Amino acid sequence: MTINDSPSESTTTAPPDEHLGQSLKVASDHRHAVRMGRVRRTGLQLSVLMVFLAVWWLIARMELVNPLYLPSPGAVWDAFIQSNSCRAISETRTVCGEQNYYMWEHLIASLQRMAIGVGIAVILGPLAGFLMATVGWLNTALEPYLNFLRSLPPLGYIGLLIVWFGINDTSKNWLLFLAAFPPIVIATINGVRGVKQDSVHAALSMGANRWQVGTSVILPSALPEIIAGIRIATGFAWTCVVAAELNAGIPGIGGLAFTSGQQLQTALTIACIIVIGLAAVALDALIKYLGNVAVPWYGKA
């Protein structure tokens, strides 16, 4: 045995041919089963949607409920299209979208508020969490207040924010920041506390100073938890943005949902609700995807 041999444990024992064929077949059967499972699952979920739409359509069609309360699926679709296009209301005037904005502009406006409020929390949250996890007295001093802030429903203090920052975007941005900040800080603290001691020791015995331990070991170790925190915070902030737009929320998808309801444009309200839900799912998927890109080792090491 010499040092330069290729590592013995890297050479897998090659199975005999029929054995190999067997295991290939097993593998392909497995893939097939997985694919079938996925097709069947999606099929099942789609049929629920179909049944739901059919029942909805039937109820609306038979006018069991006043269409003011429950417009038909078709009416909701029409409201959706109409809110994203222009229409002539007289010989000389055309109207575009709803409440002077296309629906996608309402959506973008809400997402912009998210980007500012949550974006700042994404920058400051990990910093604060990092400091709190590493500076003992800071954590002792601040932890109860952080937990207090986290347990407050943000909509409980929107009134105060409006008094302080006005009814427009500033108060909404603050609300989103305050909603997203605590979960990110707490996730960061947990992530930093969960770093394996030996990981830090290994770095120290390789000559790392405190700063290098922080940036090269603790931060990447805590990253999966930080990203999980950002995901939770984003979902939470989205539920808040929609509600925060009850006040001066135009443009804003939550504002549109609320205003259209008040004006008895029920079909548009339902269209807004569906868009709000789909946007939440898309946001979550986006963060999950970015997380997988940033932390490819998660669950593997």
What is the identity of the amino acid at 87? R
**Residues touching other proteins, count (CB under 8 A):** 31
- Rank residues 115 and 200 by Cβ distance to other proteins and give the closer one: 200
193 sits near other proteins (criterion: CB under 8 A): no
- Rank residues 109 and 217 by Cβ distance to other proteins and give the closer one: 217
- Rank residues 34 and 206 by Cβ distance to other proteins and give the closer one: 206
The DSSP result for 93-133, as a single string, is -EEESBTTB-HHHHHHHHHHHHHHHHHHHHHHHHHHHHHHH
CB of 11 to other proteins, least distance (A): 10
91 sits near other proteins (criterion: CB under 8 A): no
Contacts of 223 (CB under 8 A, 6+ apart): 191, 294, 295
**Helix crossing, 169-193 with 103-134: angle to 10°?**
40
CB of 225 to other proteins, least distance (A): 14
Pick the binder of other proteins from 202, 281, 286, 290 (CB under 8 A). Answer: 202
The length of the chain, given as a count of residues: 301
* Nearest C-alpha neighbor of 181 from the set 138, 117, 242: 117
Q: Do you find a cis peptide bond into 251, omega within 30 degrees of 0?
A: yes
Among 75-83, 85-93, 261-269, 292-300, the segment contacting other proteins (CB under 8 A): 292-300
- Rank residues 156 and 299 by Cβ distance to other proteins and give the closer one: 299
* Nearest-angstrom CA–CA distance, 82 and 79: 5
- Rank residues 206 and 281 by Cβ distance to other proteins and give the closer one: 206
CB of 159 to other proteins, least distance (A): 44
Q: x/- site string to other proteins, residues 212 to 251, per CB under 8 A?
A: x---xx--x--x----------------------------
205 sits near other proteins (criterion: CB under 8 A): yes
Contact (Cβ atoms closer than 8 angstroms) between residue 125 and residue 184: yes
* Nearest-angstrom CA–CA distance, 9 and 255: 62
* Nearest-angstrom CA–CA distance, 125 and 217: 19
207 sits near other proteins (criterion: CB under 8 A): yes
Unique residue bearing structure tokens 């839900």: 277
> Which residues sit at the interface with other proteins, rule CB under 8 A?
1, 3-10, 196, 198-199, 201-209, 212, 216-217, 220, 223, 295-297, 300-301
